[in-house]
Each structure stands twice: as structure tokens, then as C-alpha cells.
Amino acid sequence: MSKADCTLPESGWGQLLLNGSSPRVGSRWTDDGQSHEKRGLKRRARSATRPVPIPPVLVQLLREHIEEFGVAPDGRLFQAAEGGLILTKETAEVWKEARKLVLTPEQVASPFADVPYSARHTAVSGWLTAGVDKAEVARRAGHSIAVLLRFYAKVISDREEHSNALIERFLNGEDLDEGVRGGRQAQT
């Protein structure tokens, strides 16, 4: 991720413009002999981009990171000590130490948040639990709704009482935002 792909306002929501990945595949497996291969976004045209809104707390963290550490010569936000790409091994080591700092000993001994990818799962699960529209969650996560529901359906189970309350508020015309209220009025 480069600084040029980030919109980081002084306050409010920002945006990341995702435009590809560069997984480590080993220099023997790339055309240019580099250990990382530049790829487009999964299941999209090579030049496709995907804008993802980011909350103010993440905007602030990224702004502070850039202020403290700067960016790599090529504009990347995160770099190894000597400016190179951060290796998966290094990320895994930092994640392991971070878990020890923020989790209970029982959680550290469990598979809970055992890999960095768990943070993505937590984010998507949290959006669903918060009641964000499934189509919007799928868009932000870069999934189809079918894939979203196949992998995250367990998060939205046991929500019958909550769902009933939302439906009841809708039927009573209570606590509705303008978009929902306007849609309801258009149907009556």
C-alpha cells in the first residue's frame, strides 16, 4: 500500500484504494527474478481498483505512522528496517508478540487470532454484527454476497431477537434513517 493510494483527512473517514497485491512466491517462480510477484486484485481485471472506506481511528493511526516512520522511497507505507519489503516471517513474529501483549494467557494458548488474517475476519464479522448491509460488507471486503454468507454466516446466526427488533422498528416507522424511511414511504 502506498501513500498515494490513501486518503487520510485531518478528521473523519478516509479511504484506501486497493489496486493489487505482491505476494512472496520466490524468485524462481517470477518472470523478473524478484521474490514478490505483482498481481491484480483477485478475480478482477489486472488494472482494477477497489476503494475501501476506513474509519477515523485507522486514518489517525496511519497518519501517525507516516509522521513517525515516513514512507519507503517508492511510497510504500510499511517497510523493513533497510527499506525493503516486509517478509511474512517478520509479520508473523510481530503478530505473535502483539498477541502476548493484548490477550489473556488462555487466549494466547488458543487458536484465537492466531494469524494476522484473523484481523480481516474480525473486521468483516464486526461489520455484520453491527448491522451493516450485507451488500456493503461484501463490497468492502471484496467478496460476492454468496462468498460473504458462506464464510461469515455463523457470525450472523443467533441474531433472531435483534433482527425482530429491527423489523419491528421498521414496521412502526421508528429510528429509521432517511434512506430507509424514504424507501418505506415510496412503497406505501
| pLDDT tens for the chain, residues 1 to 188 | 889 999 999 999 999 998 756 656 666 666 666 665 566 555 665 666 788 899 999 999 999 999 999 999 889 898 887 777 787 788 889 999 999 999 999 999 999 889 988 888 888 988 888 889 999 999 898 888 998 988 887 666 667 787 788 889 889 988 666 444 444 444 44
Contact in structure between 153 and 167 (CB atoms under 8 Å): no
Burial class (CB in 10 A: 0-12, 13-18, 19+), 173: exposed
To the nearest whole number, what is the mean pLDDT of the chain? 81
Which pLDDT score, from 0 to 100, does residue 173 have? 86
Structure confidence by residue, pLDDT tens digits, 77-123: 988 877 777 877 888 899 999 999 999 999 999 998 899 888 888 88
Cα distances (Å, whole numbers) of residue 177 to 58, 127, 132, 180: 25, 18, 13, 6
Q: pTM for the whole thing? A: 0.68
Which pLDDT score, from 0 to 100, does residue 181 have? 46
Which DSSP symbol is given to 98? Answer: H
Burial class (CB in 10 A: 0-12, 13-18, 19+), 99: middle
